[in-house]
Amino acid sequence: MATRLRSAGRRCTVIGGSGFLGRHMVEQLLDRGYSVNVFDIQQSFESDGVKFFLGDLCDKEALLPALQGVSVAFHCASPAPSSDNRELFYKVNFMGTKAVIEACKEAGVQKLVLTSSASVVFEGTDIKNGSEDLPYAQKPIDYYTETKILQEKEVLSANDPDNNFLTVAIRPHGIFGPRDPQLVPILIQAAKRGKMKFIIGDGKNLVDFTYVENVVHGHILAAEKLQKGSPLCGKAFHITNDEPVPFWAFMSRILTGLDYDPPKYHIPYWLAYYLALLLALLLGLLRPLVTIKATFTPMRVALAGTFHYYSCERAKRDMGYRPVVGLEEAIARTLQSYPHLRRARA
């Protein structure tokens, strides 16, 4: 109730508000009493309380009307990580984010909250309880991550309290929940094609999977605690479920929850990685004659076969963050939201 009163009448803009995370963000902001503008390249839903502005975020002039009279902008738009289009990632994540910063300043927006990614420090090797002090990856695993690093640096260095412009970056990892277009659908599609038979490595590698409502909660807390002189200014924060789980136990839980068999055979990590690399090279050579999208990419093998979980102590200390939905409940809600992906029994 206190949050609702404090936020009543305050308008914010969600850039990327038609996407998976963005739409959840819009819903929670409305619940908490904010008025919401959405800026996106497409409109994916209708809502009485929301004003939609359609356009490309690389175009500063198109952004400006969506930012007028707004105190906080959330920037969670990005091309899909699987798009594999270097130019597009560079244009949208890097150049587009510069346009977002310029437009925010010009429109008098006081706070910019960026959705970054914990992957900005991941190089394909184990990270256990990694803190925000880890250096950015020198060899990022893909173009998506490369440009998420550029984007985060740009936003954090734009923090300028003297000119009343404050910035913060939230680094979630492995977001899942209702309407997620990636994790559960890709997994089930692979299972349907009989491709989910193998566990990559020994299956003991711990990973963070973060329920979308916790990610949203972290963003809204960050916006509310971001004040002149606060420790949030110009800093990055991991937001996780704070319950790392073995990657393959999580995948198996989703598969069995939707009536698919869990993987049971083991394949050494290095073998899976080189097979995925070989496949990627072959598909690269055959393009544009063949345009098949591989399920097992070197990036996914690296994510599936290594430890990568992160400490969210900084978010707990500086913004009072605690996950609001535990992992078991989060999985149950997610499974319930995908009746159409449940295996049809013969």
Ligand X SMILES: NC(=O)C1=CN([C@@H]2O[C@H](COP(=O)(O)OP(=O)(O)OC[C@H]3O[C@@H](n4cnc5c(N)ncnc54)[C@H](OP(=O)(O)O)[C@@H]3O)[C@@H](O)[C@H]2O)C=CC1
Q: Which residues are catalytic?
A: 144
Interface with ligand LHIR3OJJ includes 174 (CB under 6 A)?
yes
Give yes or no for a cis peptide into 135 (omega within 30° of 0): no
Report the distance separating Cα 246 and Cα 207, nearest Å.
Answer: 6
Q: Are 171 and 239 in contact (CB under 8 A)?
A: yes
Report the distance separating Cα 7 and Cα 320, nearest Å.
Answer: 18
Stretch that binds ligand X, among 35-43, 249-257, 260-268, 292-300 (CB under 6 A): 35-43
Which amino acid would we find at residue 133? D
Rank residues 51 and 266 by Cβ distance to ligand X and give the closer one.
51
Q: Nearest to ligand LHIR3OJJ by Cβ — which residue?
A: 117
Interface with ligand X includes 140 (CB under 6 A)?
no
Distances (CA, A) of 150 to 110, 137, 218: 22, 11, 22
3-state secondary structure of 125: coil
Interface with ligand X includes 222 (CB under 6 A)?
no
Total residues in contact with ligand X, by rule CB under 6 A: 28
Interface with ligand LHIR3OJJ includes 92 (CB under 6 A)?
no
Task: Select the residue interacting with ligand LHIR3OJJ from 57, 103, 303, 331 (CB under 6 A).
Answer: 303
Residues in the chain: 346
Minimum Å distance from CB 183 to ligand LHIR3OJJ?
5
Interface with ligand LHIR3OJJ includes 187 (CB under 6 A)?
yes
The 227-266 contact track toward ligand X, x by CB under 6 A, reads: ----------------------------------------
Stretch that binds ligand LHIR3OJJ, among 25-33, 179-187, 213-221, 277-285 (CB under 6 A): 179-187
Minimum Å distance from CB 62 to ligand X?
9
Measuring CA to CA, which residue among 251, 263, 247 is closest to residue 187?
A: 251
Interface with ligand X includes 115 (CB under 6 A)?
yes
Measuring CA to CA, which residue among 202, 205, 187, 216 is closest to residue 307?
A: 205
Rank residues 173 and 217 by Cβ distance to ligand LHIR3OJJ and give the closer one.
173
The 58-97 contact track toward ligand X, x by CB under 6 A, reads: x-----------------xxxxx-----------x---x-
Residue carrying the six token digits 């925010």: 104
Instruction: Give, as ranges, the residues between 118 and 137 that touch ligand X (CB under 6 A).
Output: none
Partner from ligand X, ligand LHIR3OJJ, none binding residue 236, C-beta < 5-8 Å depending on class: none
Interface with ligand X includes 41 (CB under 6 A)?
yes
Contacts 24+ apart (CB under 8 A), 190-194: 190/295, 191/255, 191/260, 191/261, 192/260, 193/295
Report the distance separating Cα 32 and Cα 7, nearest Å.
Answer: 7
Report the distance separating Cα 141 and Cα 72, nearest Å.
Answer: 32
Interface with ligand LHIR3OJJ includes 119 (CB under 6 A)?
yes
Minimum Å distance from CB 192 to ligand X?
21
Rank residues 118 and 325 by Cβ distance to ligand LHIR3OJJ and give the closer one.
118
Interface with ligand LHIR3OJJ includes 190 (CB under 6 A)?
yes
Partner from ligand X, ligand LHIR3OJJ, none binding residue 303, C-beta < 5-8 Å depending on class: ligand LHIR3OJJ
**Where are any strands of DSSP class E within the chain?**
11-15, 35-40, 50-54, 72-75, 111-115, 127-130, 166-172, 175-176, 198-200, 206-207, 210-211, 235-239, 245-246, 265-267, 308-310
